Amino acid sequence: MSDQQALPTEYRPCVGVMLVNRDGHAFVGQRIDNREGDFWQMPQGGVDKGEDLEAAALRELEEETGVSASMVTILQQTVNPIRYDLPEELIGKLWKGKYCGQEQVWFLMRFDGSDDDVDLEAHDPAEFCAFKWVKPAALEDLIVPFKKRVYRSVVAEFSALV
**The pLDDT value given to residue 1:** 46
Q: What is the per-residue DSSP string for the chain? A: --TTSPPP-EEEEEEEEEEE-TTSPEEEEEEGGGTTTT-EE--EEEPPTT--HHHHHHHHHHHHH---GGGEEEEEE-SS-EEEEPPGGGTTTSGGG-EEEEEEEEEEEEE-S-GGG--TTSSSS-SEEEEEEE-GGGHHHHS-GGGHHHHHHHHHHHTTT-
CATH number at residue 118: 3.90.79.10
> Does the residue 9 lie in any domain?
no
- What percent of the chain has pLDDT above 70? 92
> Does the residue 47 lie in any domain?
yes
> Does the residue 7 lie in any domain?
no
pLDDT band at 7 (very low <50, low <70, confident <90, very high): confident
Distance CA 100, CA 129 (A): 27
Q: Which residues of 48-84 are buried (b: 16+ CB within 10 A; e: fewer)?
A: eeeeebeebbbbbbbbbbbbeeebbeeeebbeeebeb
> Does the residue 6 lie in any domain?
no
> Does the residue 34 lie in any domain?
yes
Distance CA 157, CA 162 (A): 10
Q: Average pLDDT, whole number, for the chain? A: 92
* Residue of 18, 107, 13 lying closest to 54 (CA atoms): 107
pLDDT band at 35 (very low <50, low <70, confident <90, very high): low
- Domain containing 137 equals 15-158
pLDDT band at 36 (very low <50, low <70, confident <90, very high): low
Total domains, the chain: 1
For residue 2, is pLDDT > 50?
no
Instruction: Name, of 27-41, 82-96, 116-130, the range with top average pLDDT.
Output: 116-130
